[in-house]
Amino acid sequence: MPSSKFSSKLLNKAVDYQGVYPCPLCRAGDISNMTLMEAMSCNFCQQIFTVDLEKQELILPSRQPPLTWRWDGMNWKQPRLEGVELGWGYTVGALAFIALPTTLTGIIAYCLPPQPEQPFTWVPCIWAFLTFLSHSSVIIWLFVEIYQIPVASYFRAMQQRLLNPN
């Protein structure tokens, strides 16, 4: 169901410079035409976008390679990186990067446990958990960097929504 702040005549319509659209990057603001420019900007995250009216695409040129979203008449479709294909190989590699070191650390902690009378017998279990956390955080950080997810803008939007629930 479309958001109430966007008129129904605007949705199901091709992108043009006169319309106001939801920002696909921060998802909290609206993008609209910048005066005397063939560009659009978000009133929340302050990003500037270029528009390809023929292809109905919104491009974020401030990063390389640029992110591109396609308008389907209702909302922006999943972003894609221009000239970059992230396939199954990257997913398998990311899962292996998380699972293999964690599994190896866990197996070593299980097969070679410390003596119960020794201090710090909990260290191998904590070490395996920290291995999982650190490798997962690397993959999450790479995902955020590749797709330029504005984490600070999300927190700012949540704070504004909590303070002003209207």
**Sequence spans of domains, the chain:** 21-81, 88-162
**Cα 160 to Cα 166: distance, rounded to the nearest angstrom:** 10
pLDDT (mean) for 131-153: 85
Lookup result for tokens 């950080």: 141
Residues 35-66 have pLDDT tens digits of: 888 899 998 888 899 998 888 888 888 877 78
Q: d(Cα 12, Cα 71) in Å, to the nearest integer? A: 9
Q: How many CB atoms lie within 10 A of CB 26?
A: 21
| H or E element, residue 52 | strand 48-52
Show the tokens assigned to 154: 């999300």
- The pLDDT score that the predictor gives to residue 141 is 92
Which amino acid is residue 78, in one-letter code?
A: Q
Is pTM beyond 0.75? Reply is no
